[in-house]
Structure 1
């Protein structure tokens, strides 16, 4: 005959109880909080026309939000270079939904050759735009401005 299982640990029971018990008053405000969060999520993005990949033609056009381009570019720059992009803006043609130029502001690291960093960032920006939109940045520039320099990793500053 087997013995009954030992009683649950008191700390374990307390943890389980707290996980299952809602915060006092949460039920009354949960709907409003969730609705507010959903309504403040990235709205108002601007579509940029993207070229359909070869062999994938179909009816309609493909657009990529400027939010997608901005976040992809920021991640790529942070991963490749010792810098922290602080602002990325786009010059867009509202009528044709095309990209005319890019402006990037960033924090660099003390001791970095900032002109070389800016050149690398311009090239990477053009690559990211080409990957996402299948096009180049129109006739406009890719402007890079270093707004601050810190010692060490700018992402940790």
Structure 2
């Protein structure tokens, strides 16, 4: 190897091993955002369907449920859903947990109650009315920001 290629190789190695300035401050947010990124497909959730002989089963992807719920919540409330976790057992929805960033001055209990009701509505629309019967829907307000959480 020439002296120039040795120097470039050494510089490349140093740069690959050096942490980006400020990375420590944003690492957890970046990792969480990557984890929330929709995956191709997603797990199938069994939806209520007609009990007709030979009618088969209807499944809805968990990604469809998550994205529909997130869009609906952002449209109806001054909030930012930061995580939507589904408790699924054998293809059946057993519970939903929504983490939300709210806006300063919002009555948080009313916001959580509205989000819970909307979650029941969206789940019933996509999976059927029995999907959330007797299963918990938990809402956690994880942060409060000044102004619109979507702009923060």
Please report the TM-score for the alignment, with normalisation by the length of structure 2: 0.69
Q: 1:41 to 1:146 in 2, by over 3 A?
A: closer
Residue 12 of structure 2 corresponds to none
Structure 1 segments of 4+ aligned residues over 3 angstroms from their partners: none
Residue correspondence of structure 1 range 1-157 to structure 2 within 5 A: 42-43=39-40, 45-52=42-49, 59-94=55-90, 97-135=91-129, 136-157=131-152
Deviation of 1:42 after TM superposition, in Å, equals: 2.2
Gaps of 5+ in 1: 1-39
Structure with the bigger percentage of helix: 2
Aligned residues of 1:101 and 1:138 also touching (Cα < 8 A): no
Residue 27 of structure 2 corresponds to none
- Largest Rg, 1 or 2: 1
Please report the TM-score for the alignment, with normalisation by the length of structure 1: 0.67
Deviation of 1:138 after TM superposition, in Å, equals: 4.0
| Alignment deviations for residues 61-117 of structure 1 (CA, whole Å, 9 cap, x no partner) | 1100000000000000000000000000001112xx111100000100000000110
